[in-house]
Amino acid sequence: MDRVTMEDIAKRADVSINTVSRALNDKPDINDQTKKEILRIADELNYQPNRFAQGLRSSKTSTLGVIVADILNPFFSALLKGIEKAAREEGYSIIVQDTDENYENEQSAVQTTMSEQVDGLLITPTQTNRGTIMDLKQADLPFVLLGRYFDDLDTHYVVTDDVQGAKSATNHLIEKGHERISMVNGPTHISSSRERLQGYLSTMEEHELSVRNSFVLDNNVTIEDGYETGKAVISSTPRPSAVLCYSDFVAIGIIKAARDAGLKIPDELAVVGYDDVFFSTCLEVPLTTVRIPKKKLGKRAFHVLKDLIDGEKDNSDLQQLKLDTELIIRQSA
């Protein structure tokens, strides 16, 4: 028989998981009648605290939730490595959830994580909807946005300086003599995608280089996206001489499309990626890319969250960090 969770109780009582959590943990700011009904349902369902029961009695479980956008992406794998190492050193374990860039999955992941009574949450939001983040702001749970943020919401976050990262990549291509530079970008609802586009456009403007509408293409995340978009870029007239990509995954797709079209990298098409995932050096033509300090990003996010959990910081003292990136020059550009 499956273990009864707080989510089960919340559904039966028609309340939020956060309300159930407050009732079960005897927290304030909950209606007495609602609390009694939740406790009655918990008893009726034979709810048993999870394996962190001892921790719950002291309001701590030494467990953190981590929600990422794509666990199969080496970028997030490296990010998780940084989080896990930092957490282990401080006596924490982590529970990982994957949204696959789907908002409904994000909602479910947040509910599942909260039902495990975690002390705090690190989350890379899908950003197609801000509902879960607004719910978290109302909940009694410390959380930190990781890798992405909402510029109009007051939240704690740890991200990278993607404007500067895209600037450095675009400047490098211009210094190599390229003027027709395309940007194969990610979905524009994602903050990192918007900032990389901003860095690219501002650099092109600084050098008084025109940007054709056909040179900027959005909504590219996977290798397959890069390949299909790459075919369109290569067939455009005039053809770009260089492409800045949203990620290394997208760059691989672009390179494959170029090779299928008989173009040589970088002689006939220069390509720059973003992230510097581990396989960037393993390609036939090693990939020039913008390095994100992935493990450092995860480690810093963990320590911001731990400070919130320990009461070292509070929600009125927002921690909003942007880490530097680094252009890694190899042979593809």
Structure tokens at 29: 């700011």
Evaluate if residue 52 carries a pLDDT over 80: no
CATH number at 6 reads 1.10.260.40
Does the residue 70 lie in any domain? no
CATH number at 220 reads 3.40.50.2300
Lowest mean pLDDT among 24-33, 102-111, 246-255, 320-329: 24-33
Range of the domain at 5: 1-48
pLDDT band at 56; cut points 50, 70, 90: very low
- Give the global pTM: 0.82
**CA nearest neighbour of 136 among 173, 178, 106:** 106
Reduced to 3 states (helix: H, G, I; strand: E, B; else coil), residue 226 is helix
For the chain, the average pLDDT equals 92
Does the residue 288 lie in any domain? yes
Does the residue 122 lie in any domain? no
Lowest mean pLDDT among 39-53, 78-92, 175-189, 280-294: 39-53
Rounded to an integer, the average pLDDT of 317-326 is 96
pLDDT band at 50; cut points 50, 70, 90: low
Does the residue 266 lie in any domain? yes
Name the packing angle between helices 74-89 and 294-310 (round to 10°).
40
Q: How far apart, in whole angstroms, are the C-alpha atoms of residue 197 and residue 204? A: 11
Rounded to an integer, the average pLDDT of 193-207 is 98
Does the residue 81 lie in any domain? no
Does the residue 325 lie in any domain? no
Q: How many domains does the chain have?
A: 2
Does the residue 315 lie in any domain? no
Q: How far apart, in whole angstroms, are the C-alpha atoms of residue 157 and residue 145? A: 4
Does the residue 211 lie in any domain? yes
291 and 326 in contact (C-beta within 8 Å)? yes
